[in-house]
Amino acid sequence: MFKSNGKSIWCVLPISWLFVEGVIAKESALWNADHEGIIDQPETIYKVFFPNELLARQAAISFHGQLLETDYKSGYMIMELTNEDKYKLKVYGFTFESAEQWVAERDRKLQAIQQQLKQRKILSERGERHVLMSGIPGYPCYQTVEETFQAAEAFTKNYPTLAEWLDVGNSWEKAAGKGGYDIKVLKLTNKNAKELKPILFANSAIHAREYTTAPLNLAFARHLLEGYGEDADATWILDHHEVHLMLMTNPDGRKKAESGHYWRKNTNQNYCGATSSNRGADLNRNFSFSWNTVSGGSSGNSCNETYRGSSPASEPEIKAIESYVRNLFPDRRGPDNDDAAPLDTMGLHLDIHSYSELVLWPWGTTRNTAPNGMQLQTLGRKFAFFNGYMPQQSIGLYPTDGTSDGISYGELGVPAFTFELGTQFFQSCSTFESKILPDNLAALIYAAKVVRAPYMIPSGPDVTSIKINNDFSAQRSSQGIPVTLSASVTDTRFSRRNGTEPTQAISAAEYYINVPPWKKGATAVPLQAVDGRFDEKTETVSGIVDTSELPVGKHMLYVRSQDADGNWGAVSAIFLPITNEPNINYCKAESINSSDEWISKVQVGQFIHTSGASHYSDFTELKTGKTIPLMLGRNEVTLTPDFAGRAYGEYWRIWIDFNRDGDFADSGEMVFDPGSSTTTTQRGVITVSSNAIIHQEENIKTRMRVVMRYKDAPSPCGRFSYGEVEDYTVEIRSK
């Protein structure tokens, strides 16, 4: 393979295929059902027993289009196979049984989903509240195409300086004038932070039936946006990096799969018949780089699940993603097959799939190691540390071609990885929420941290925890009081499955205040090993932060460490709030759901604050630098709700902690209670009596809590179903 004028040209040579662990060798001239004149036999669903788990995961790569379900513990996979497929598996020791019971259970589930769809339509027509964001039938944790798009649009309204929803192309049905969807990207970054920012691009749901993929990407976006200003890592990632998420890469096909069908491809009616349930192209065999270059790497049969399409990038969905990726990343890889991208290459591409519990990197067309193979392997093992998956090169029992890593790594030199989530296409919500989501969210956060130098940073140590402590509080510090910063750092966070990575002792650690290490003007402050010397692969480090020159407000402490080979690892951060107020720990209050209704605007006198949806928002002076001036006597207040759909009756209350004792339970501290709910703006008066000032100073600052709750009267503490809680700092002025 070599590149010419930006295009990839492949030369296909005979390849010797080796069984795992080198037990058996077999030449590549295997019977290929996609040769001219040979037509695939009808497919049959089998229970396929594998000789060992490693071969099973290899088969999951090469026969991903035939997979339906896997039970690794019981030693079998459910696959839809032709006789040719069976032959290819049989030579590796796979055996086959009828899967009649599985088929019957699948049909039962499909029938139940169809019934739920009918019931949902009836309820929706009645305007029932609980079906407005109901998810895929039978799988409420997975958003539909429409719900995914609505959530992304809501992000742009709620976080206008952090989120954009970009139209980058069309699905096949939309391009053909048959309905369909836009191909859209959710771009996340702080628009007000102007600098050259490295980019993480992650696409999901390119295969329609892979339920977990788009919800994971959407949850990742929600974590970053809701965490901005609250979570230090989420904040600096959005300030200094960009995250681009193509949530629904194949929305037409995804819509088919939402009805319970194991739909994989897009819905191109020019392939396999306009009404066939086997129509369409496999979008992950349609990428232009390496398209149809390897014998058996994809199918030429338009009814096959791995049909490659009529030509390279023939499908509008792939045209959209290739064009977008080329605009994101410069070409940093040379024209020859063995040309490596420079180690300082910025950017990262993740293609989120399910299933098989794998982390994969190039090449998938050959067993040869990619020119950046060592660096790809290091990062892959780092990802696998977080999600527990098997890290390996993406070649399986047989090769694949025309896949997503071709555009990013093959053409441009940007590191590219595929995550294969979980063990089923229609994974249960309990498994997704308890295992797949938290494990892979951690991997995505790490990816967003290292995009500045993904070929170098993963070799370095990680910061696993950071704490700040002083004599007053672990949450904030009074101005001028020294703060102890402590952290744990380690060079050991690599998966030990399928090989090991070299690790070294920690040699140094340092922190930076407000300016990260890669920016001009950054000042490193060394941290010391708590045990007195750097000689272990895991160390606890600490240092003293001088706060005497830090103004009141919230500051960022960036921490990183270095190993004995000179590798600096990923940055982690913590907020250091500096205040001149006494520290008070207030009770927690939040809603469980703010997607349908939220506090849009709070106006007290001339003070106006607008915001988007959140379960709880801290708008106190320490967070925003702003206070609400309150005069003794009457202060007019206007409270405005907002809604995703129809308006609901909302009950409002306001409390002020006049005596600054950390609660809102004292007499007179509930200062606003209209006594009933309303669907519109609530207006009234906050009255502050002279008894409110109980200290000697002329003016006092304290906390005000605003609670909006659906239907019922709220309390100042605790959780409730629908609505929002917002906290503010008020300054009570005597004149």
Average pLDDT, the chain: 89
Per-residue pLDDT reduced to its tens digit, 466-499: 998 844 334 556 666 788 999 999 999 999 999 9
Residue 38: per-residue pLDDT: 34
Average pLDDT over residues 32-53: 66
Beta carbons within 10 angstroms of residue 655's beta carbon: 26
CATH 2.70.50 segments of the chain: 589-733
With 70 as the cut, is the pLDDT of residue 33 above it? no
CATH 3.40.630.10 segments of the chain: 133-457
Using pLDDT thresholds of 50, 70 and 90, give the confidence band for residue 405: very high
Beta carbons within 10 angstroms of residue 76's beta carbon: 22
Is 245:176 a contact under the CB 8 Å cutoff? no
- Residue identified by tokens 């902690």 is 657
Residue 47 parent element (H or E): strand 44-49
Q: In terms of DSSP bridges, do strands 483-490 and 682-688 run parallel, antiparallel, or are they unpaired?
A: unpaired
C-alpha distances in Å from residue 446, one per residue of 261, 457, 458: 34, 11, 9
C-alpha distances in Å from residue 150, one per residue of 92, 146, 180: 47, 6, 16
With 70 as the cut, is the pLDDT of residue 681 above it? yes
With 90 as the cut, is the pLDDT of residue 22 above it? no
How far apart (Å, rounded) are the C-alpha atoms in residues 209 and 262?
A: 5
For 132-165, the three-class secondary structure string (H helix, E strand, C coil) is CCCCECCECCCCCHHHHHHHHHHHHHHCCCCEEE
With 80 as the cut, is the pLDDT of residue 196 above it? yes
How far apart (Å, rounded) are the C-alpha atoms in residues 202 and 408?
A: 11
Beta bridge partners of 350: 202, 417
Using pLDDT thresholds of 50, 70 and 90, give the confidence band for residue 17: very low
Is 156:164 a contact under the CB 8 Å cutoff? yes
Average pLDDT over residues 703-732: 94
With 70 as the cut, is the pLDDT of residue 500 above it? yes
Of 345, 379, 341, which is closest to residue 360 (Cα–Cα)?
A: 379
Residue 579: per-residue pLDDT: 75
How far apart (Å, rounded) are the C-alpha atoms in residues 492 and 59?
A: 30
Q: What is the pTM of this model?
A: 0.78
Residue 133: per-residue pLDDT: 47
How far apart (Å, rounded) are the C-alpha atoms in residues 82 and 120?
A: 37
Per-residue pLDDT reduced to its tens digit, 206-248: 999 999 999 999 999 999 999 999 899 999 999 999 999 999 9
With 50 as the cut, is the pLDDT of residue 190 above it? yes
Cβ-Cβ contacts under 8 Å for 455 (sequence gap 6 or more): 341, 342, 343, 344, 345, 372, 375, 379, 415
Q: Is the dihedral of CA 258, 263, 264, 267 positive or negative?
A: negative
Among the four given CATH numbers 1.20.1630.10, 3.40.630.30, 3.40.630.10, 3.30.420.40, the one describing domain 133-457: 3.40.630.10
With 70 as the cut, is the pLDDT of residue 361 above it? yes
Using pLDDT thresholds of 50, 70 and 90, give the confidence band for residue 732: confident
Selected catalytic residue, list 226, 420, 510, 597: 420
CATH 2.60.40.2550 segments of the chain: 460-579
Which of the 8 DSSP states describes residue 518? T
Is 444:386 a contact under the CB 8 Å cutoff? no
Is 161:148 a contact under the CB 8 Å cutoff? no
Lowest mean pLDDT of 37-51, 527-541, 656-670, name the range: 37-51
Report whether the peptide linkage leading into residue 142 is cis, meaning its omega lies within 30 degrees of zero.
Answer: no
Average pLDDT over residues 111-117: 78
How far apart (Å, rounded) are the C-alpha atoms in residues 562 and 505?
A: 9
Using pLDDT thresholds of 50, 70 and 90, give the confidence band for residue 15: very low
Average pLDDT over residues 275-292: 96
Q: Is the dihedral of CA 252, 258, 264, 270 positive or negative?
A: negative
Per-residue pLDDT reduced to its tens digit, 425-473: 999 999 999 999 999 999 999 999 999 999 999 999 999 999 988 443 3
| φ, ψ of residue 72 in degrees (nearest 5) | -65, -35
Average pLDDT over residues 653-679: 90
Q: Look up residue 261 and give its two tokens.
A: 């069908």
With 60 as the cut, is the pLDDT of residue 343 above it? yes
Average pLDDT over residues 378-405: 95
Burial code of 525-535, b = ≥16 C-beta within 10 A, e = fewer? eebbbeeeebe
How far apart (Å, rounded) are the C-alpha atoms in residues 677 and 351?
A: 46
> Is the CATH number of domain 460-579 2.60.40.2550?
yes
In this prediction, what percent of the chain has a pLDDT beyond 90? 73
How far apart (Å, rounded) are the C-alpha atoms in residues 418 and 349?
A: 9
Average pLDDT over residues 625-636: 88
Instruction: Map residue 285 onto helix, strand or coil.
Output: helix
Average pLDDT over residues 393-409: 94
Average pLDDT over residues 376-381: 98
Q: Look up residue 131 and give its two tokens.
A: 């079906």
How does DSSP assign 379-437, residue by residue? HHHHHHHHH-PEEEES--SS---S-THIIIIIIT---EEEEEESSBTT--HHHIIIIIH
How far apart (Å, rounded) are the C-alpha atoms in residues 406 and 466?
A: 38
Among the four given CATH numbers 1.50.10, 2.70.50, 3.30.1360, 2.30.30, the one describing domain 589-733: 2.70.50
Is 262:253 a contact under the CB 8 Å cutoff? no
Active-site residue, 420 included: yes
Using pLDDT thresholds of 50, 70 and 90, give the confidence band for residue 126: low
Average pLDDT over residues 633-654: 93
Cβ-Cβ contacts under 8 Å for 533 (sequence gap 6 or more): none
With 70 as the cut, is the pLDDT of residue 14 above it? no
How far apart (Å, rounded) are the C-alpha atoms in residues 645 and 642?
A: 9
Q: Look up residue 693 and give its two tokens.
A: 């000032």
With 60 as the cut, is the pLDDT of residue 34 above it? no
